[in-house]
Amino acid sequence: MTNRNKRSVMIDLKSPEGPQAVRALAARAEILVEGYRPGVAERLGVGPDACMSANPALVYGRMTGWGQRGPSPPWRDTTSATSPPPAHCP
């Protein structure tokens, strides 16, 4: 069992209380890992600057499939608007 003794919480980041709840959890956390598209965490108020202001020792990790500055995924290519997205995205 890989998730034994772990707790989880659901937070609506678009609610007025959501970002504050995440920052309060980050204030007492050791690690925070997010997987949003580039710029989304900052727009929601839970980016590294906001979270690390409450906890300077916080390790803030980001996991995205294409990196923070990497290329757009091929199925988001705006030059070929007639191409449908693939049936399976690895």
pLDDT at 8: 83
Domain of residue 49: give its range: 18-68
83: amino acid identity, one letter: S
- 90 residues of the chain, pLDDT tens digit each: 576 777 788 999 999 999 999 999 999 999 999 988 888 999 999 999 999 999 999 999 988 776 666 665 555 555 555 555 555 555
Residue 38 inside a domain? The answer is yes
Residue 10 inside a domain? The answer is no
pLDDT at 65: 72
Q: How many domains does the chain have?
A: 1
Instruction: Looking at the chain, list the stretches that DSSP marks H as alpha helix, in order from N- to C-terminal side.
Output: 18-27, 40-44, 48-54
Residue 33 inside a domain? The answer is yes
Query: The whole model's pTM is what?
Result: 0.67
